[in-house]
Amino acid sequence: MASRYTSAFEEMIADMQAQYEDWVRAGEPWSLRELFSTPDFDIDDYCRDFRPSAFGDQACAEVERYCRAQGIWLEPGGAHYNSMTPYLHPGPVSVERLAVIGLFNAILFWLNDTVGREKFGHLADVEQQRARTDLDRLCRFLQTRIPPENPSPFESATTEWLTRLTELADPQWLDLFLASTLEHLRTAIRDQNARSRGDVLTVAEYIDLRAQVSGMYPAIALCEFGRDEYVSWDLLAAAGLADEVRRLQVLTAELGALMNDMFSFEKECVVDRSDFNLIPVCLLNNSRATLPDAVREAADLVRARLVEFRSRYDIVAARCARHDGMDPEFAVQVQRYLDDLAACVRASWVWQLGTQRYKGVSIFAENRPTGPK
């Protein structure tokens, strides 16, 4: 249960910042690879054969052209976020589908980097109110699918994206996807820092909320759109696999969100002074914890989910290989979906390892410009 935020928590955050400065100056950097791995599992080996979509260059170029024309291309971060799409979605069957996914990602990143949770608290009151108004208009549009009057460039881009998505998507899937997107937007476009919230979430509460804030649930749903192949939950339930696959979805979302917390710790917690991140949340939930304690606890939570994901993946994949309780064609479809979830997990490591978005002064070896030694 969340605890009421007091000045004692502010002192803990200030102390964490001081510990951070000391560790950057004199401490040995932690290796995220070592933190996330186990004696019988190396995350780098697990991701070694991962490849982004072959349509990546074409789709990313189309997204950039469109965003620049609409005035919603971010500088200097645009190239970084745009490059994520072919990693997170290596399975789409066409350039067109990958480009629609890329435009969705561009819209979310534009929101995140202008009025999102890290930026919201730094906005002036009038800017925060404008952001809330714009969010209300956007949510109303996604609910009704009626374009707003006198649209801003951002709203025009969103209208174009939704038109293209609707033309290509399964109608039932589209309803569920837009509902998931709305849930994400309502949590992401607000200040989630403890002072603003007035409470400190437990670690479990934080993880649940962070998975929503991350946008990973809509991202996972887009795997089905990319392949133009939609999973039947009735057939999964009949095969006794619905609970396992839903748990794999949750683990995929949490791993994407929590690995990002580790990679983006400096960007969020040092530059933007946010405490809505797994590392400070671990610290705030243990009054005796140090920064190294919090880093290790956060890494333990990521590693445990990697272990569970691989175990559950193997169980369902074995069922698919045996066609156990499933039509053979459906078993093949489920296996492709499992592979898409695994690709999201692998992409969460590979893309963040390579992007320049998080490179700089860091307590983590992988975030330093020269990388691990």
pLDDT in tens, 269-288: 999 899 999 999 999 999 99
pLDDT in tens, 135-174: 788 889 999 999 888 888 888 989 999 999 999 999 999 9
Task: Give me the residue label for tokens 């670690």.
Answer: 203
- Cα–Cα distance for residue pair 242/232, rounded to 1 Å: 10
- Cα–Cα distance for residue pair 81/105, rounded to 1 Å: 8
Task: Give me the residue label for tokens 């951070």.
Answer: 20
Helices 216-227 + 171-188 axis angle, to 10: 160
pLDDT in tens, 174-216: 999 999 999 998 887 778 889 888 999 999 999 999 999 999 9
C-alpha torsion 119→120→126→130, nearest 10: 100
Phi/psi of residue 38, each to 5°?
A: -125, 170
Helices 153-168 + 56-70 axis angle, to 10: 140
CB 258 within 8 A of CB 305: yes
pLDDT in tens, 41-51: 999 999 999 99
Is it the case that residue 253 has pLDDT exceeding 60?
Answer: yes
Q: Please provide the size of the chain in residues.
A: 373
